[in-house]
Amino acid sequence: MKQAPEHLVKLIEPIVEGLGYECVGIEFNPHPQHGMLRVYIDSENGILLDDCSKVSHQLSGMLDVEDPIPGNYQLEVSSPGADRPFFKLSQFERFIGSTVTVNLFKPINKRRKITGLIQKVEDDVVVLLEGDQTYDIPFKAMSKARLVPEFLLNKGVRSGK
């Protein structure tokens, strides 16, 4: 997954959780002039703009003091949305029975993108059912994974098509 480096996760997660939110995941795309640090937050009551602002303010202060990222970057705090990204195996476990789209680093059965129903999670392998085909996908083989929103499934639309 496109999770941020461990040193950033260890700095950011405790602050987000200390404010009462779930830290869904953290993406970091380094670039000399246009870097991006994106933090996805969630709560049982959903996320509003005020929640994002509150977390952003706290993280900005810590990042200014700790200075863990060289160069310029933009901090973005947002809700995961209906097509939430997955960063951890536990997120697949939580959404067993839901449909996800998974992008792979290397093809499995000549496929680099699979959209299927999460059947189960065993050790570090996610089992997806696409049509009548079952795929055992190691978590480490995934470059990206997102939930397919129910409203798209009801319309017969697949994510990424």
Task: Give residue-wise pLDDT tens across range 78-87.
Answer: 999 999 999 9
| pLDDT of amino acid 159 | 43
Backbone angles phi, psi at 14, to 5 degrees: -60, -35
Of residues 156 and 29, the one with the higher pLDDT is 29
pLDDT tens-digit readout, 2-46 = 678 999 999 999 999 999 999 999 999 988 888 999 999 999 999
Query: Does residue 83 sit within a domain?
Result: no
Q: Both 68 and 15 in a single domain?
A: yes
Q: Both 97 and 61 in a single domain?
A: no
Domain around 23: 6-78
Q: Both 14 and 65 in a single domain?
A: yes
| pLDDT of amino acid 131 | 92
What CATH number corresponds to the domain at position 138?
2.30.30.180
**Secondary structure of 71-106 as H, E, C letters:** CCEEEEEECCCCCCECCCHHHHHHCCCCEEEEEEEE
| pLDDT of amino acid 161 | 41
| pLDDT of amino acid 160 | 44
Q: Both 72 and 94 in a single domain?
A: no
